[in-house]
Structure 1
Amino acid sequence: MTADTDPTTLVKMLHLVFLSTFWGMQIWVTFISSFVMGNNLSQHTIGFIQSCLFPYYFHIGSACAFINLTIFAVCHPSELLNEEETIQITVFFICATVAALNAYWFGQLTSDIMAEMHLIEQSYGLGGDIGLFLNKSLIRLRQLDSNYKELASRLSIYHGFSSLCNLCCIACNGLSLYYMAAHLSAL
């Protein structure tokens, strides 16, 4: 991009704010709060907190990804993109797409299925154990209740896709931060 079309400092700051906001949320939710809650709260409490928190997390992340894509696209006209900028806009596009899938589909389905499973678990007096790992009672419940078994299977699939989307966004934002850092003239 030529010097006469460089974005203003305000635009650069907004781009950095939205990228760093999404990155910070991802690191906190994925690598810190999940493990803290998993080691200190019951499975149902974790599920309840996540069902309240994750829609905000996914939608704010999706908005940040879309805004980053938009800012980058406006500041880098397609006819002037070099190879590195083409990769960067592709990374922003992938991140925005995957974040939207998670916000509007995988994340919601995962929460809905988990809520149904919690109702079944509560009817059997289960779900109060602390920790993220399945206990023997929940494994037995899968054998006893075919509806619960089917829900657990669906939860595994949608939770897997949701986690994959989240990890994809983390990788995309990590690459975007690397790209930004490589283009800083000074700290």
Structure 2
Amino acid sequence: MAWLTRFLAAVAFLAIGVIFSPETFGSTSEGQNSSKLSVYLKLVHLLSFSTAWGAALWVTFIGGIIMFKNLPRHQFGNLQSKMFPAYFSLVGVCCALSVAAFGYSHPWKSSATAEKYQLGFLLSGFAFNLTNLFVFTPMTIEMMKKRHKVEREQNIGDEIGWTKNKEVAKVNPQLAAMNKKFGMIHGLSSLANIMAFGSLAMHSWYLAGKINL
């Protein structure tokens, strides 16, 4: 029930923020009159984008590295196989919401060139993320499980950080072939993840230029 408590707390704070927003009291910020629909679309876009950005930042540069350095390699791999589908699903949904909200607020025909580029960045992030979710991640997990089976037969995989895999692969052609294929698929998955993260980073610069602090 802990997740439900956290979810309800987040919803409660969001509701309080809406209640005490300037639009609720009939006033506007900096003399700009915006419809409630426009404000809600901005809220959806901001929350979705920030969630996707934060999740990508943590998983790519912080959480994964900490787990790799502190968990036995097979345990780390098994955890990643459960975490990555959830991660890519979350980021995919957030990117879809961001694209929908931004696209509705900036119709293509009447949008400036800058907005068209931003929609393109968001769509790129969404596409790279879906590619990871439905193509590279399933392939990576499948190859990882096959490699784990071979490694267990060689009594390796329980080490933390430094691995005996390369030493054993020198005298085990099957493991060497698996390493090569796994490295290729994992490399493509990492590249797609970085490209998605980069697309979101480009959009963050655009949003920063729109915020008045």
Q: Same fold (TM over 0.5)?
A: yes
Name the structure 2 match of 1:180: 207
1:141 CA displacement: 2.5
Task: Decide whether the 8 Å contact of 1:95 with 1:173 is kept in 2.
Answer: yes
Matched, 1:150 2:184: no
Report % sequence identity. 26
Structure with max Cα Rg: 2
Residue 31 (structure 1) aligned to one of 56, 61, 78: 61
Aligned length: 181
Equivalent residues of 1:7, 1:75 under 8 A apart: no
Check if 1:61 corresponds to 2:91: yes
Q: TM-score, normalised by structure 1?
A: 0.90
Q: Residue 80 of structure 2 corresponds to which residue in structure 1?
A: 50
| RMSD of aligned alpha carbons | 1.7
Distance 1:82 1:104 in 2: 33
Alignment CA distance shift 1:8-1:183 (3 Å): same
In 1, Cα distance between equivalents of 2:109 and 2:194 = 31
Tell me which of 73, 76, 80 is aligned to 2:106. Answer: 76
Q: Distance in 2 between matches of 1:175 and 1:6?
A: 27
* Rounded Cα–Cα distance in structure 1 between residues aligned with 2:49 and 2:67: 26
CA shift, 1:63, in A, is 1.6
Q: Secondary structure at the match of 1:99?
A: helix
Structure whose residues are more often helix by fraction: 1
Alignment of 1:121-140 (within 5 A): 121-131=151-161, 133=162, 135=163, 137-140=164-167
1:83 is aligned with what amino acid?
T
Q: Which has the higher contact order (CA 8 A, sep 6+)?
A: 1
Distance 1:158 1:63 in 2: 24
Structure 1 alignment gaps of length 5 or more: none
The one-letter code matched in structure 2 to 1:144 is V
CA offsets 1:52-95 (integer angstroms, 9 cap, x no match): 10110011111211221122112111111211111101101111
CA 1:22–1:4: 2 relative to 1, 3 Å = closer
The one-letter amino acid of 1:174's match is: A
How far apart are 1:6 and its partner, in Å? 9.3
- Following TM superposition, by how much is the alpha carbon of 1:4 offset from its aligned partner in structure 2, in angstroms? 7.1
> How far apart, CA to CA, are the structure 2 residues paired with 1:53 and 1:10?
30
